[in-house]
Structure 1
Amino acid sequence: MRRLYSGAVPRAKTLPALWLISDARNDAVIERALAALPRGSGLIYRHYHLDGAERLARFRALRRAAKARGHVVVLADSALTAREWGADGIYGAPRALWPRRAGLIHLATAHDLAELGLAARLGADAALLSPVFATRSHPDGKTLGAVRFRLLARQTRLPVIALGGMTKARARALRWKGWAAIDGLSR
């Protein structure tokens, strides 16, 4: 795994710089996308479209594929479920990650400076700041844009992961190592 830096002081924990996020729209190609990621990348498993046993079964299959490539697997669910399912961490809004659970990676969602601050105060390991660019999920939604993203990301000591309309080319243009995508890593 490569060390991920925010614009400020790096934290001691080493996190993947690249994260694939699962969704109903990339489910058919997600195994291929996982295999194409550099070793030691990350998977954030959401699959909100599946219920109960079906969601667990799909998680297990994707965890197996991810672990075969040395990837970190984070679950969008509770710490209890993450432990039961064998995930490496949890993903969600900052308050959903509290209280901090030892042994799990905590990835917080953030959309503004207040949420970045809350994520840091509640002990998140990193924050996914979004949306940087327009996305298929929210095509008409307000975006941060490159300049605002970089300004916000530099205001926190947390590692910041760019999310929202991200592709390899956009990450390079943004000059930001840590990024995550659904479509941008699934094509």
Structure 2
Amino acid sequence: MSRVLYLIACAAGPTQFIDTGVRRAQAAGWDTCLILTPSAARWWETRLGELEALAGHGVRSQYKLPGESDSLPKADAMLVAPLSSTSLNKWGAGIADTLAIGLVSEGVHMGVPVAAMPYFNRAQGAQPAVARSIAALRDQGVRYLDGPDGYDPHPPKQGDPQAFPWGRGLAALAST
């Protein structure tokens, strides 16, 4: 039986190609559940059925209502990729106002391995809150993937979302 990965994507450029991320995770042996922030879900709203068919699970972007059963199997690991600077800073401050951030905020404290790989530009990364948020996540045990093991912020207006290194995020969880 495959291990379950929650692939959690924020509204950042590579989410246009989240189907590539799902395929890469599946090729690495993960049963992949896709969770999108509400803003990221808007990017795919006309094609959510395509993502659900690919993943083999419903794509979630909202908290379930009281009394609704959970459609997601229990996660063995979670990968937040791409992580936007907005979601990074909310997560680092403990603001879990979306399902995407709520799952990882809780999961890391329940012993689920959590990795996060950013995608934002250097101007966004220069905000003082970014360094504080990265430190807060690392202090909680999140594997924040930057530098050669992940993704470093790109110059403004020079990102290449199609070249996002999905494999680096998956490699960080390979031994979990």
Give the TM-score normalised by structure 1: 0.41
Higher helix proportion (structure 1 or 2): 2
